[in-house]
Amino acid sequence: GYEVTTNAGWHAAYDRNGQSVVQLFLLDSPTTPNPEWNYFKKRATVDCDKDHTVTVMDDNTLFGVFLVKYCDATDFAAKASRTKNVASRLQSLLDAHLNTQGVKGQFPCQIIKVVGNTTQAEFHYTVPCAKSQQAAVISSLKSTCKHPHLINTIIHENRRYKHDSGFAGSSSSSSEGGKFLFSMLI
């Protein structure tokens, strides 16, 4: 069972474990490949117990940071809507969790910045919250971090960038360590 993906002339096959089996580039493709394009061999992850912190910024604001490993931070810097989509998912999951806990109110999450590199992304966010509700919201944020819909949204937005980019700025056709096999497909 192999998964096959196609992107701007690239055809890649991956085995069940996400290991790259073969990558082919169509030589007659109108664009050249970006040597940076290669999905991580591991799925993006957040260790919510170790890599997610939520602190009280002031009497009316919480500040949080979570680190996503195997995620390209530059993808989120390239287009603000990707970060906004992650913030919307975080907020909807937080609202749902708080409703199950009986906590009423509006708690809009805003991701204020994403920092990192091509291997990890650190999402910094704020949540306005009255002092009397901060403990409940912090607890819910910790639980929300572990929800699979949050990481799936991040993965979707991260991969969407790879498909949207079209490699317009790339002019390299490097084989970089023999990773790429250049051939014509019939």
B/e letters for 71-98, b = 16+ CB within 10 Å, e = fewer, are bbbebbbeeeebbebbbebbbbbbbebb
Answer yes or no: are the C-beta atoms of 116 and 79 closer than 8 Å.
Answer: no
Q: What is the pLDDT of residues 162-177, one digit of tens each?
A: 544 443 333 333 333 3
Task: Supply the pLDDT for residue 185.
Answer: 36
**Rounded CA separation 71/79 (Å):** 15
| Higher-scoring residue by pLDDT: 141, 3 | 141
Considering only CA atoms, which of 15, 8, 11 is closest in space to residue 180?
Answer: 11
Instruction: Tell me the pLDDT of the chain averaged across its residues.
Output: 74
Total-model pTM? 0.66
70: helix, coil or strand? coil
Q: What is the pLDDT of residues 38-97, one digit of tens each?
A: 455 678 888 999 999 999 999 999 999 999 999 999 888 888 899 999 999 999 999 999
Residue span(s) of the chain under CATH 3.30.70 come to 52-164
Task: Supply the pLDDT for residue 75.
Answer: 86
Q: What is the pLDDT of residues 112-158, one digit of tens each?
A: 999 999 899 999 999 999 999 999 999 999 999 999 999 999 988 88
Q: How far is CA 144 from CA 86, 91, 112, 172, in A?
A: 12, 9, 18, 41
Q: Considering the domain 52-164 in this protein, what is its CATH number?
A: 3.30.70
**What confidence tier does 108 reach under pLDDT thresholds 50, 70, 90?**
very high
**Rounded CA separation 26/181 (Å):** 10
